Amino acid sequence: MSIVAILLGIFAIGFIALLHELGHFFFAKRAGMKVLELSLGAGPKIFSFTKGETDYTIRLIPVLAFVKIEEEGPGSLKDASFLARFFMYIGGVTFNFLTAIIIFTLIGVFSGMVTDKVIVGKIIPDTPASVVLEKNDQILEFNGNKVEDIEGFIIKLNENGSQEISLKVLRDDKLQEVKITPLYDQENSKYYLGFNFGTEKMNIFSSFIYSFKVSIDYISETFKLIGNMLIGTASAKDNLVGVVGIVSLTSTFATNVADFMVFIAILSLGMAVINILPLPALDGGKIVLLLLEKIRGKKVNEKVEVYLTIASFALLILLMLYTTYNDITRIFGG
């Protein structure tokens, strides 16, 4: 892993964390709350300037960010209305979600995204695909059956096994039929033809709609994975990644601008999911407590809230230590 990849990884995490805090900052300011500080990083100050009532700072640890809001009196968080506090709490998650959609939309317009269409991308030399397929071919039929999406194509391919396949492809606006015989990948226990799925460029409206769908699907699948880990049907060791793991993954996505932007979008969605979890130390937990306050007509006991927050912080620290250890052992083969 190169120094450039490490720096890009740190930048990506810090950038996403700052965007999250900007969401809180934006809605706090809109509600008239007194924002004392907006910081990129944590720990000792490296640089700061003051504008109005707010200190804008850069601190030593770059993978964190925070917003500090007045706690007591006029302009404080406690003094704000229910809706003002709700939008302030949900603001970070909202900004992360919108960031992902904007990035995906721009990628769909300018470089294209992998969609449901089965389009031939990079072809691997000396494979069946290199003989009969060409880049940008769109596969429409598989043995006379319509190909609905990539997932369906992969299922059909593995069900077919090593038998010869008839594919109907759209090439340069002309329909062609080709014959191809899959190979078996013993390491991954699947059949393959020898190409990566290609991308499709879209107009901005179509790209936005597709990006919204992709983002919702990603969040849904992440919540399902979290649920499976909690009930023990998925391995936490294999699926949880911490800061070290994220930085190490950067080299995989740092080959071109589009891939790196996809990496940032995925990180942004991941941060949205983490922060909406109903733990009192996170935005989701604060929203739950706020809703309880609205239902009950009075605030949750401050001592109870403090104890719950401390307990959830302790849980998050333990989780951070576990993921860091897991990342290091995964990277170095421990």
d(CA 153, CA 190): 13
d(CA 139, CA 146): 9
d(CA 165, CA 55): 65
Chain length of the chain: 334
What pLDDT is recorded for position 302? 83
| For residue 334, pLDDT beyond 70 | no
Tokens (6 digits) for 316? 């998050």
pLDDT tens for residues 102-137?
999 999 999 999 998 999 999 999 999 999 999 999
Tokens (6 digits) for 204? 């901005």
Which amino acid is located at 204 in the chain?
I
Give the model's confidence band at 183: pLDDT under 50 very low, under 70 low, under 90 confident, else very high: very high
CATH fold group of domain 120-197 = Pdz3 Domain (2.30.42)
3-class secondary-structure state, position 68: strand
d(CA 69, CA 23): 13
| For residue 1, pLDDT beyond 70 | no
**CB 227 within 8 Å of CB 236:** no
pLDDT tens for residues 295-318?
988 888 888 888 888 998 898 888
* Domain boundaries of the chain, sorted by first residue: 3-112+212-332, 120-197
What pLDDT is recorded for position 142? 97
pLDDT tens for residues 195-221?
999 999 999 999 999 999 999 999 999
What are the residues whose beta carbons fall under 8 Å from the beta carbon of 164, sequence distance 6 or more?
179, 180, 181
pLDDT tens for residues 75-105?
999 899 999 999 999 999 999 999 999 999 9
Phi, psi torsion values for 171, nearest 5 degrees: -130, 120
Which amino acid is located at 268 in the chain?
S
Rounded mean pLDDT, 130-150: 96
Distance set, CA 148 to CA 117, 140, 153, 318 (Å): 8, 8, 7, 44
**CB 14 within 8 Å of CB 264:** no
What pLDDT is recorded for position 198? 94
What pLDDT is recorded for position 278? 93
What pLDDT is recorded for position 276? 96
**CB 94 within 8 Å of CB 100:** no
| For residue 333, pLDDT beyond 70 | no
Q: Looking up tokens 């500090």, which residue turns up?
A: 68
**Could you tell me which of 226, 333, 314, 206 has the C-alpha nearest to residue 273?**
226
